[in-house]
Amino acid sequence: MFRKILIANRGEIALRVICACKELGIRTVAVYSEADSAALHVRFADEAICIGPPRIAESYLNIASIISAAEITDAEAIHPGYGFLSENPRFAEVCESSKLTFIGPSPDVIRLMGDKDQARAKMAELGLPALPGSGVLRSEEEAEEEARRIGYPVIVKAAAGGGGRGMRIIRSPKEIPFILRTAQAEAEAAFGSPAVYFEKYLSSPRHIEFQVMGDSNGKLVHLGERECTIQRRHQKLVEESPSTQIDDETRERVGAQVVEVLTKIGYTNAGTVEFLMDEDRELYFLEMNTRIQVEHPVTEMVTGFDLVKQQIRIAAGERLPAEWERVRLTGHAIECRICAEDPETFIPCAGTITGLNVPGGPGVRVDRAIYTECVVPPYYDSLVAKLICHGCDRSEAIHRMRRALEMFILEGISTLIPLHERIMHDPDFRAGRFNTGFLDRYAPAGLKAEVPAASAASR
């Protein structure tokens, strides 16, 4: 096992990794920007190194500073958390060439899955169902031909994108010239590559993802699914496991397909395979995330497994324990992402937390790095806490979430707590009746369009 790990992240996920290390008896190194010198991940790590100014390009994305910090402190491995450098194949390569273990899959797999069009083609070739789609489009003529073959409406996606950024819908051939060029220009500006491709557009899908974990010995398991349909502007707000839409037969069938395909690829460590579900409840591969995800606690609560400790054990060469092959989902877990944002406009809100009460009691977990009188800086993602509630069934989880939200006091900044309370009381949410349009009724369309992009830095 490793003696010392560097955590290349901040906020609640940096603390989450520190928890795992402490329980495994591993020493920890925090890195932090000048805006984070009073942060809890700095306080609870055994050592901490300042890696630069507040701006992420100069600190949490600064590969040279982070590698230097690992070398100076004699760390043996780096946990990237989510966001930042977690899905950067170059970073994973630099770690390996600096004799540091990157806690995650191989650089080649990260690179493959980072190209959304290539990932889609590969997963379809290996047998996962995917929506009809094109390869990267090289001309207007080809685009017209492909859209006709797929059938309108189609959606344009950036090959280097993911997470929904830069997507556009095309409903008729006459829209192709303008939208194609706009999408290519946007993709170039946002991701440094103009490559875009088409997929058949589903108008009101659900987002369902399978959690996997693979070891270096060729063993890979799935840990069931999470329903992540409640999103706004491609940011998940509520996640739960299991999904009300997945029965045992579907879970076993799709889970087995996922395991088969990823075993063929030689996938190691934690990963998530995302699907869209259409109105006929068919699942179609969307993309794969090669990192631990924000919403991993809901899977931890229904499986009883510690995913972050297992990531570290696998990176150290250990095999998956036999219990992981006999996973059983117990009860139901829901996560609400508590973001420091205005609940009406979703405008991020920095400031000092003047009052704080963190709920507890049976079945309640709060992952956070905030504390009373701490400053929430404006430079980073607005997620300040994750409230996760487990119950014996979905109804108990919802009722537990309602009372935990009520007992969550967070003063000094505005948060999404009031929005989550409304969602937990919504009859459609309670009945499991929702799709990607669910949150549209909670924010007037005009308002949503005016909102400046949040600092999506750490996801």
Binding site for ligand MV4 (CB under 6 A): 131, 155, 163-164, 199-202, 205, 207, 229, 231, 234, 276, 286, 436
Least Cβ distance, residue 238 to ligand MV4 (angstroms): 11
Least Cβ distance, residue 146 to ligand MV4 (angstroms): 14
Q: Please enumerate, as own/partner, the contacts of 188-193 that have beta carbons within 8 Å and a separation of 24 or more.
A: 190/158, 190/161, 190/165, 190/166, 191/158, 191/160, 191/161, 191/166, 192/160, 193/158, 193/159, 193/160
**What are the angstrom distances between the C-alpha of 253 and each of 128, 259, 274, 420, 422?**
11, 10, 15, 33, 35
Q: Which of 120, 206, 226, 291 is catalytic?
A: 291
Query: Burial letters for 30-58: b for 16+ Cβ neighbours within 10 Å, e otherwise?
Result: bbbbebbeebbbbebbebbbbbbeeebee
Q: What's the CA gap between 105 and 122, in Å, rounded? A: 17
Least Cβ distance, residue 257 to ligand MV4 (angstroms): 19
Give the residue with the Cβ less far from ligand MV4, 75 or 202. Answer: 202
Give the residue with the Cβ less far from ligand MV4, 201 or 324. Answer: 201
Give the residue with the Cβ less far from ligand MV4, 199 or 225. Answer: 199
Least Cβ distance, residue 286 to ligand MV4 (angstroms): 6
**Taking CB positions, which residue lies at the least distance from ligand MV4?**
164
Give the residue with the Cβ less far from ligand MV4, 286 or 339. Answer: 286
Give the residue with the Cβ less far from ligand MV4, 163 or 378. Answer: 163
Q: Is 233 a catalytic residue?
A: no
Given a contact cutoff of 8 angstroms between Cβ atoms, the answer to whether 122 and 200 are in contact is: no
Strands of the 206-214 sheet, one edge to the other: 283-289, 269-277, 206-214, 220-232, 235-241, 332-339, 383-391, 364-368
Least Cβ distance, residue 369 to ligand MV4 (angstroms): 25
Which among 119, 174, 116, 125 is positioned nearest to 148, based on CA atoms? 174
Q: Could you give the 3-state DSSP secondary structure of residue 282? A: coil
- Output the CA angle 447-450-456, nearest 5 degrees: 110
The H or E element that residue 95 is part of is: helix 89-97
Q: What's the CA gap between 84 and 63, in Å, rounded? A: 10
Least Cβ distance, residue 216 to ligand MV4 (angstroms): 30
Q: Integer distance in angstroms from the first to the last C-alpha of the chain?
A: 29
Give the residue with the Cβ less far from ligand MV4, 234 or 281. Answer: 234
Least Cβ distance, residue 218 to ligand MV4 (angstroms): 30
Give the residue with the Cβ less far from ligand MV4, 216 or 231. Answer: 231
CB atoms < 10 A from the CB of 369, how many? 24
Q: Which residues are catalytic, by number?
A: 291
